[in-house]
């Protein structure tokens, strides 16, 4: 049992991995927001680079994860993802 899709038994490593990946995704997009405050053209470029990084490294952004939650038992993923993106 790998614990990736177990509904009633949420493994602590799944929680840590989702939190870690969502924090890194938030950092990628946060750097792009900072770049937009410095120079809008730089912000646009960094946002594109940030989104490519999110896709390449399979990171969790709330907006991309919300569309793939089909069962109520997986809602914890959204809460952790949102928290990690805001950190």
Helical packing angle, 12-38 and 40-56, nearest 10°: 160
Q: What does the pLDDT profile of the chain (87 residues) look like in tens digits?
A: 454 544 455 678 888 999 999 999 999 999 999 999 999 999 999 999 999 999 999 999 999 888 888 888 788 889 999 999 998
pTM, 2 dp:
0.81
Please report whether residue 7 resides in a domain: no
Q: Specify the number of domains making up the chain.
A: 1
Q: Which range of residues forms the domain containing residue 40?
A: 12-86
Please report whether residue 2 resides in a domain: no
Please report whether residue 5 resides in a domain: no
- Residue count of the chain: 87
Please report whether residue 28 resides in a domain: yes
């Amino acid at each position: 049992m790998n614990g990736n899709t177990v509904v009633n038994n949420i493994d602590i490593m799944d929680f840590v991995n989702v939190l870690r990946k969502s924090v890194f995704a938030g950092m990628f997009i946060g750097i792009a927001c900072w770049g937009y405050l410095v120079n809008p053209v730089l912000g646009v470029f960094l946002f594109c680079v940030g989104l490519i990084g999110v896709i390449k490294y399979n990171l969790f952004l709330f907006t991309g994860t919300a569309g793939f939650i089909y069962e109520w038992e997986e809602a914890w993923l959204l809460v952790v993802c949102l928290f990690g993106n805001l950190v």
